Amino acid sequence: MHSENMLYKFIAVLAVASITFPIVSAATDKIVCYHGTWAKYRYGNGQFLLSNIDPTLCTHIIYTFVGITTNGQVTSLDPSLDYNSGNLNKFTALKTVNPKLKTLLAIGGWSEGSTKYSTVAASAELRAVFIQSALDIVQTYGFDGFDLDWEYPAQRGGSAADVANFATLIKEFRETFDKHGLLLSAAVAAPLGLVEISYDVPSLSKYLDFINVMAYDLHASWDGVLGHNAPLYASSVDTSAASKLLNLKSIVESWIAKGADPQKLVLGIPFYGRTYTLASTTNVAIGAASIGAGSSGPYTAEAGMLGYNEIVEKQLAGGWTIVWDDEQKVPHMYKDNQWVGYDDPQSVTLKVEYAKSMSLSGVMVWSIETDDFRGASGTAFPLLSAINAALVSIIRSTIFPFPNPILLF
């Protein structure tokens, strides 16, 4: 009888738990990792190969980039790497290590521009060619889906008709991909001003499996003043209506207000910082003047940005003052005439927690090869590991709301 009563109590507690703390479909559980294949060509400790990927740290991983021809065919941007070196096959083979991993192939990117995509999207015939070509390469190499990174509809040589044409394109992609059980996603501009130019948000939300919001490059050296790359919240120096929108909180709220289902939104987190050259070494506060981009790093070799791996190496070399911005919940650092706004394990954890609070689908990272993947800081992939730890904590608190469930009996 005692054991029978215990069983009834156990069932009753489970019933209460399932009512009060349901495991719902609105889980924030995606970790979408972009991989820039060009990192293979980087110098020294910055070189990143497919063998450096830990496929257990991502739920989805996206291979970037392929391109498009003017007749709508998907084409390799690096045939030697993609085909001759077998990178496409090796990439999808990561699923043998993590069978739950989903691999996607991305088309586009900044360097591809907008004009060709505008032309293809405007033609029913070319759209059909594009969709079939994408399906062919996805199926040939065993990808689970396709990611559209058109930067950006109705901008950079595009036309106003791109907004409707892009919506039609993804609708037609959806119809074809559904027949084959394939995923369809897109990388999209983040700030409201760009969203209003480029997207029919309800259509994207309806037809895409998830939407990767590129919530970074919100401030950089082109502003002429110091600002964080990807602040979670606004700063008190953000006094204009436009500047108050350049933070992750405002971006997410804007996308939802425009008609996006929160469970389709994946919040982008940068694994790099934006750098500046100071106008004055005595004025290093947010909003202070800068005279241009900061010095390039040894691996990324691009003025105005540093990978987190390069940031860690600079910190270890010493001499940098590191500041936590408690308004914007992100760090920055400075030394001599150089200033860097970036993300660290603390800030990415807060961004994951924010994504959960808004019931988003998950977070996205750009990109895994600029994390501290060699572990100079003491932990390999510290940013990606922090994201995983934050999500595990969130999932555990959802599934096991009681601290010690067995003690309830």
Q: How far apart are CA 14 and CA 281, in angstroms?
A: 61
Of the candidates 161, 154, 151, 87, the residue with the CA atom closest to the CA atom of residue 123? 161
User: Where in 259-303 does DSSP place strands (E)?
Assistant: 265-270, 272-278, 290-293
Residue 291 belongs to some domain of the structure: no
**Does any domain span residue 301?**
no
Q: What is the pTM of this model?
A: 0.91
Q: Which domain holds residue 222?
A: 21-270+344-408
- Taking the C-alpha atoms of residue 366 and residue 36, their distance in angstroms, rounded to an integer, is 8
Tally the domains of the chain. Answer: 1
**pLDDT given at position 394:** 64
CB neighbour class for 240 (10 Å; exposed up to 12, middle 13-18, buried from 19): exposed
DSSP states along 296-350 = PPTTT--TTEEEHHHHHHHHHHS--EEEEETTTTEEEEEETTEEEE---HHHHHH
pLDDT tens over the chain, length 409 residues = 444 444 344 334 333 333 333 233 358 999 999 999 999 999 999 999 999 999 999 999 999 999 999 999 999 999 999 999 999 999 999 999 999 999 999 999 999 999 999 999 999 999 999 999 999 999 999 999 999 999 999 999 999 999 999 999 999 999 999 999 999 999 999 999 999 999 999 999 999 999 999 999 999 999 999 999 999 999 999 999 999 999 999 999 999 999 999 999 999 999 999 999 999 999 999 999 999 999 999 999 999 999 999 999 999 999 999 999 999 999 999 999 999 999 999 999 999 999 999 999 999 999 999 999 999 999 999 999 999 999 987 655 544 444 443 333 2
Out of 112, 151, 310, 313, the active site residue is 151
* Residue 137 domain-assigned (yes or no): yes
Question: At 90, which amino acid appears?
Answer: K
Strand partners, 363: 31, 267
* Residue 8 belongs to a domain: no
The confidence score (pLDDT) of residue 113 equals 96
User: Is 318 domain-assigned?
Assistant: no
Size of the chain in residues: 409
State the pLDDT at residue 135: 99
Residue 27: its pLDDT value, please?
86
Residue 74 within a domain: yes
Instruction: Give the CATH number for residue 157.
Output: 3.20.20.80
Residue 334 included in any domain: no
Please confirm, yes or no, whether 112 is among the known catalytic residues. no
Residue 13 maps to a domain: no
| Beta-bridge mates of residue 322 | 333
> From CA 36, how far away is CA 87, in angstroms rounded?
12
Q: Tokens standing for 357?
A: 């609070």
Q: What is the pLDDT of residue 17?
A: 38
